[in-house]
Amino acid sequence: MKYLVCISKVPDTTAKISFKNEDKEFNSDGVTFIMNPTDEWYALVRALELKEASGGQVTVINVGPKDNEKFLRSAIAIGADDAVLIEANEETESYYIAKNIAKYAQENGYNFVITGKETISFNSFSLGGMIAEFMDLPFINQATQWMLNGEVSTIYKEIEGGEEVLEVTGNCVISAQKGMAEQRLANMKGIMMAKTKPLAIIPIALGEEKVQVSQYQVTPPRGNCKMFTLDQIDELVQALQSEAKVI
């Protein structure tokens, strides 16, 4: 089986978020970027586990500037066999990215395309669905487990108040979330070997950006919040009277 795992680059979870260019552009000054956690921890690691169990090839892919090579190398260090970077501008929207990944997956005969549930930067949740549409494949969103028996995938999803178990025969696109796998750290040998594995850089092939960001807005910080438990009724009344001064 051939697995294509989409790896996105996102700001570190502790990064200070600000915007520039009249709030049209994310200000990346001084921001550390990391591999998108759901791509790394769930999508990539599950693909590696399935490959380790029954053979195949795991390729990691990113659409973005040449600097993103570094994140693909990190994914290789964790265990991917090879990587592809489709060279594009920094902030590209999902439609454009999906179209290019779908084209690459189709032309190179991948059985499964796996993404993380969402990127923690723009949270669009949209890439997997678009790729599936362009490839004319079924799409299973936010999967928590994925077993593979021959051609048949058994996939678990969380639904309101319970779980849904799906069976898919043949190729499909999956977005992965918590539960799918455990984070795997690259070991030092993996990092040393990563240099020697293939990483292809190919030019962008398709499409134009259809969605433009007109403005970003920062939500104002939440005000102070104080929590009381059920047995603290007296303290609550006290606080409402003397601190909040509302009763």
Partner 1 sequence: MKTKTLKGGAFIIEDQDLNSFYAPEMLSEEVQQFSEMISDFVEKKVKPNFDKIDKGAHDLVVSLLKEAGELGILSASLPEEYQGLNVDFHTESIISEQVGKAHSFSVALAAHTGIGTLPILYFGNSEQKSKYLPGLGSGALLASYCLTEPGSGSDALGAKTKAVLSEDGKHYILNGQKMWITNAGFADVFIVFAQVDGDKFTGFIVEKGSEGLTLGAEEEKMGIKGSSTRMVFLENVKVPVENLLGEIGKGHKIAFNVLNIGRYKLCVMAMGGAKETFNHAVRYANERIQFKIPIAKFGAIREKIADMAISIYATESATYRTSGLIENQIQELTSNGMDKTSAKLEAAEEYSIECALLKVIGSETLDLVVDESVQIYGGMGFSEESPVARAYRDSRINRIFEGTNEINRLLGVGTLAKRAMKGELDLQSPIKAAMGDLMNMDFSEVSGDLGAEKKSIANAKKAFLIIAGGAIQKFGLEFERQQEIIMKLSDIMIDIFAAESILMRVEKKIQTSGLEGAAHDINILKVFLYEAMDRIYMKGKQAIHSSQEGDQMTMMLMGLKRFTKYESINVVETKRAIAKIYIEKQAY
Strand, coil or helix: 94 = helix
Site residues for partner 1, 78-137, by CB under 8 A, read: none
Contact yes or no for 37/3 (Cβ under 8 A): no
Strand, coil or helix: 161 = coil
Q: Which stretch binds partner 1 (CB under 8 A): 50-58, 98-106, 187-195, 226-234?
A: 187-195
Does position 188 bind partner 1 by CB under 8 A?
yes
Which is nearest to 191 in space by CA: 98, 107, 74?
74
Which is nearest to 61 in space by CA: 114, 107, 140, 122?
114
Contact yes or no for 78/45 (Cβ under 8 A): yes
CA–CA dist 6, 215 (Å, integer): 27
CA–CA dist 63, 57 (Å, integer): 20
Of 13, 21, 22, 185, which lies in the binding site for partner 1, with binding defined by CB under 8 A? 185
Does position 77 bind partner 1 by CB under 8 A?
yes
- Closest to partner 1 by CB, 203 vs 223, is 223
Which is nearest to 117 in space by CA: 88, 139, 84?
139
Of 53, 70, 154, 211, which lies in the binding site for partner 1, with binding defined by CB under 8 A? 70
Does position 183 bind partner 1 by CB under 8 A?
yes
Which is nearest to 146 in space by CA: 138, 137, 136, 157?
157
Determine the residue type at 74.
S
- Closest to partner 1 by CB, 30 vs 150, is 30
Q: Which stretch binds partner 1 (CB under 8 A): 54-62, 70-78, 98-106, 197-205?
A: 70-78
Contact yes or no for 22/81 (Cβ under 8 A): no
- Closest to partner 1 by CB, 7 vs 77, is 77
Does position 195 bind partner 1 by CB under 8 A?
yes
Does position 66 bind partner 1 by CB under 8 A?
no
Does position 226 bind partner 1 by CB under 8 A?
no
Site residues for partner 1, 133-162, by CB under 8 A, read: none
Contact yes or no for 51/1 (Cβ under 8 A): yes
Q: Which stretch binds partner 1 (CB under 8 A): 57-65, 98-106, 150-158, 186-194?
A: 186-194
Q: Are strands 33-35 and 9-11 parallel, antiparallel or unpaired?
A: antiparallel
- Closest to partner 1 by CB, 14 vs 214, is 14
Does position 30 bind partner 1 by CB under 8 A?
yes
Does position 192 bind partner 1 by CB under 8 A?
yes
- Closest to partner 1 by CB, 201 vs 233, is 201
Instruction: Supply the minimum distance, in Å, between the C-beta of residue 236 and partner 1.
Output: 24
Does position 24 bind partner 1 by CB under 8 A?
no
